[in-house]
């Protein structure tokens, strides 16, 4: 080492960096969803961010499929619901027939500016 240089130590370990454009917040909210051609069904949103949701659905959706989603909020927050058109962008592989719900990632494709602002305020209140 030359005079004045610091020795750099290599460090090893696991780091989990959030690479999402819109980081998600863990939550558990009821949702109602429907495909364009079907009646609405009820399930749960598990994570939410400015760009979309992680939802558990009882049926396999196709990538690119559009769903109408209504999110129901706790009454103490002062919100009732937010509605949006979403697009399926990813889903987990469903390994067994009776395994349970499909983890499905959807992104918002049509959400009003007011509903987006309300969602951001709600998520900000959860992350402290």
Q: What is the per-residue pLDDT across 57-114, written as a single tens digit (0 to 9) for each? A: 888 889 999 999 998 888 776 668 889 999 999 988 665 556 678 889 999 999 999 9
Closest CA to 68 of 43, 82, 85: 85
Domains of the chain: 25-127 (2.40.10.220)
Q: What is the per-residue pLDDT across 21-54, written as a single tens digit (0 to 9) for each? A: 555 678 888 888 888 766 667 777 777 787 899 8
CA distances 87 to 52, 61, 124, Å, are 9, 10, 24
Closest CA to 101 of 20, 38, 45: 45
Residue 14: pLDDT above 50? no
């Amino acid at each position: 080492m030359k005079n004045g240089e610091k020795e750099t130590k290599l460090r090893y370990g696991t780091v989990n960096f959030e690479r999402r454009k819109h980081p998600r917040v863990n939550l558990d909210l009821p949702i109602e969803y429907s495909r364009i051609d079907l009646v609405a069904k009820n399930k749960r949103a598990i994570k939410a961010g400015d760009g979309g949701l992680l939802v558990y659905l009882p049926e396999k959706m196709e990538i690119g499929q559009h769903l109408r989603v209504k999110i129901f909020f706790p009454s103490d927050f002062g919100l009732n619901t937010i509605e949006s058109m979403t697009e399926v962008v990813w889903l987990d592989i469903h390994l067994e027939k009776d395994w349970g719900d499909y983890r499905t990632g959807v992104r918002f494709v049509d959400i009003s500016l007011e509903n987006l602002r309300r969602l951001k305020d709600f998520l900000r209140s959860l992350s402290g």
